[in-house]
């Protein structure tokens, strides 16, 4: 259990101290990869920090030479990914600026500063609500028209027409992609039926990949328990269960469960569409046949990566801009 990285960072330590297995369906903090600190923690998603390679490859794919990175300063799961992405972009000779914000800070000043950097491509590392505030500020600054791009490290909740209009054309990478398989479709139909029966309301029309990741977590535990019982291992021995889990490979919802892939989604006018997949093993994107990317401003072509209306050009060494709340 556990889908919030902050919570898992705390409960994971307790589970390790008590030698109890914990399996998460949604915690992606890089801290949780430290097996000395979290010896009994497992997850059915990869680390958010691994996404830095996908961001760099995406920038190279479109020959973007400048990128502004906008990140939460207080959420380590995002700041660590932003810093890793910044380092790798500069190593690839791509100019960067890194803009931090703190919890509760208005986003207008943040995005005004990011606009001054001269980039027309913005990589966002923040929770969904913060990202929506960033996009709404960007919209007021004229940054959501054709010629700009916003790429995010995770999904975003679009509650109304205003938020969808601001996010139109945004792309985001997901470590919890929805499995494109008949088995998942059947599972989804059954889930919707039970959801309505138990809650009296219709289930969300487009649940995210965390639904599949939760299923995988339960299935992973079942496989591990079966292996432990067959070999006379105590299922309450967290370290032994982790040893079993690390050696497991199994099928779930019509595909082999793996932590080395991500999906790319695109917010379009009336739906969010999966447009590509990224393999960490091959460091390459494969685009979904027949799907086109709608870019910011409903554009059909990607931006250049440089805002030609801004005179300041980002140095290749990069710089950081910090926004801190007043005491």
Q: What DSSP state is assigned to residue 288?
A: P
Give the span between the Cα atoms of 138 and 144, in whole angstroms.
6
Tokens of 250: 């199994």
Q: What is the pLDDT of residues 104-135, one digit of tens each?
A: 889 999 999 999 999 999 999 998 889 989 99
Per-residue confidence at 257, pLDDT binned at 50, 70, 90?
low
Q: 190: left (phi > 0), else alpha (psi -120 to 50), else beta?
A: alpha
- Express each pLDDT in 272-319 by its tens digit: 888 998 887 788 899 999 999 999 999 999 998 665 454 434 334 343
pLDDT, residue 178, reads 66
Report the distance separating Cα 149 and Cα 165, nearest Å.
14
Distance CA 228, CA 221 (A): 10
Which of 20-24, 29-33, 220-224 is the least confident region?
Answer: 29-33
**Chain centroid to CA 170:** 13
Q: Out of 17-26, 68-77, 223-232, 250-259, which region has the weakest mean confidence (pLDDT)?
A: 250-259
The whole-number pLDDT of residue 212 equals: 80
| Confidence band, pLDDT 50/70/90 cuts, at residue 138 | very high
Mean pLDDT of all residues in 42-69: 88
Give the pLDDT band (50/70/90) at residue 161: low
Q: How many CB atoms lie within 10 A of CB 218?
A: 13
**Local confidence band at 320 (pLDDT 50, 70, 90 cut-offs):** very low
- Using alpha carbons only, how large is the chain's radius of gyration in Å? 21
Residue 319: count of CB within 10 angstroms of its CB: 12
């Amino acid at each position: 259990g556990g889908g919030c990285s902050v919570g898992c960072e705390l409960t994971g330590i307790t589970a390790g101290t008590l030698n109890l297995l914990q399996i998460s369906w949604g915690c992606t903090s890089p801290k949780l990869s430290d097996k000395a600190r979290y010896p009994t923690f497992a997850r059915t998603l990869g680390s958010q920090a691994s996404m830095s390679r996908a961001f760099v490859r995406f920038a190279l794919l479109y020959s973007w030479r400048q990128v502004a990175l906008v990140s939460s300063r207080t959420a380590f799961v995002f700041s660590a990914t932003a810093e890793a992405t910044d380092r790798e972009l500069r190593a690839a000779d791509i100019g960067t600026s890194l803009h931090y914000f703190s919890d509760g800070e208005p986003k207008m000043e943040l995005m005004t500063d990011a606009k001054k950097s001269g980039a027309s491509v913005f990589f966002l590392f923040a929770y969904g609500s913060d990202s929506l505030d960033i996009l709404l500020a960007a919209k007021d600054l004229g940054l959501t028209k054709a010629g700009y791009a916003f790429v995010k490290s995770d999904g975003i909740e679009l509650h109304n027409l205003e938020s969808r209009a601001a996010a139109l054309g945004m792309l985001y990478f997901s470590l919890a992609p929805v499995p494109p398989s008949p088995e998942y479709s059947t599972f989804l139909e059954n889930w919707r039926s039970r959801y309505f029966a138990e809650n009296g309301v219709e289930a969300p029309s487009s649940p995210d990949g965390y639904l599949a990741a939760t299923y995988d977590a339960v299935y992973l535990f079942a496989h591990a328990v079966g292996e432990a019982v067959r070999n006379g291992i105590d299922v309450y021995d967290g370290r032994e269960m982790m040893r079993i889990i690390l050696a497991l490979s199994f099928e779930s919802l019509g595909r082999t469960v793996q932590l080395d892939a991500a999906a790319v989604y695109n917010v379009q006018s009336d739906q969010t569409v999966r447009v590509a997949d990224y393999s960490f093993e091959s460091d390459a994107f494969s685009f979904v046949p027949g799907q086109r990317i709608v870019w910011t401003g409903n554009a059909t072509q990607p931006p250049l990566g440089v805002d030609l209306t801004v005179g300041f050009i980002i140095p290749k060494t990069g710089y950081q801009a910090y926004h801190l709340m007043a005491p």
